[in-house]
Amino acid sequence: MPRFRWIVVGVVLFAAFLGLGLLVDRQPLQLDAEVATALRGQDTRLAGQIAGVVTNVLGPVLPYVLGAVLLAIVLRDRSRLSLCVRLAVVLLLCRFTSLAFKPVFQRQRPRVYPDLSYPSGHVVSVATTSLVVVLLCAWLRPRFVRWAIGISAAATVLAAACRIVLGVHWVTDTVGAVLAVLGVGLVSATALRLIPVPPGERRSLER
């Protein structure tokens, strides 16, 4: 896909994130309400206890772990500095979507809970880490890209499900988180020449 098309896709996804945020800002969608009602009280039961453990791992800690991995790659091979710096910028920009837009939308949680709701910070963290891991594999270990995509998608869905089971996020909070990360991620990664990467140019661009 030409570079311009990646940017267009990213802009459309980010616009969808903003549109969804405006749509649910004052009142949850019927889907949100029905799911929240069906899962009410699960946060104090076994499902909620399991979800709590999972979200301690699949949450805000992941971007920090990936940042440490990028640093380790640079320390091991200085020729990877440009690549890792660009990936770190994408990581920061995507993670910032939660911090920047929660105050914009001021959406309340399904139950009493500190902090605002849209988009889900946990899902943003997992989706952000996932996107950058896929990009990292595309550059350094292309044969692992399919595995990275599959594992990343599963981890993001699991993180979203756990936050919904805990009653601390609406379904649309998690959908918005993914839209925001993909939107910002595709635009920033394209601008930083991380995508698309023709195989023959990978080494020259990395320098």
User: Are the beta carbons of 106 and 88 closer than 8 angstroms?
Assistant: no
Give CA separation, 188 vs 33, 126, 135, 193, in Å: 34, 18, 12, 9
pLDDT band of residue 196 (cuts 50, 70, 90) is confident
Give CA separation, 9 vs 43, 72, 78, 91, 195, in Å: 37, 32, 33, 19, 13
Task: Give per-residue pLDDT as tens, 69-102.
Answer: 999 999 999 999 999 999 999 999 999 999 999 9
Per the structure block, which two tokens stand in for 158? 């699991």
pLDDT given at position 207: 43
pLDDT given at position 205: 42
Q: Provide the angle, in degrees to the nearest 10, between the axes of the packed helices 81-105 and 61-76.
A: 170
DSSP 8-state code for residue 166:
T
Q: Name which of 176, 135, 174 is nearest 155 in CA terms.
A: 174
Residue 198 pLDDT exceeds 70: no
Percent of the chain surpassing pLDDT 90:
89
Q: What's the burial of 52, exposed, middle or buried (CB within 10 Å: 0-12/13-18/19+)?
A: middle
- Domain 3-196: assigned CATH number: 1.20.144
Per the structure block, which two tokens stand in for 37? 């009602």
pLDDT band of residue 5 (cuts 50, 70, 90) is very high
> Chain-wide mean pLDDT for the chain?
93
Per the structure block, which two tokens stand in for 156? 């993001």
Percent of the chain surpassing pLDDT 70:
95
**Rounded Cα gap, residues 199 and 158, in angstroms:** 32
Task: Give per-residue pLDDT as tens, 166-191.
Answer: 999 999 999 999 999 999 999 999 99
Residue 204 pLDDT exceeds 50: no
pLDDT given at position 26: 87
Tokens 């880490």 sit on residue:
129
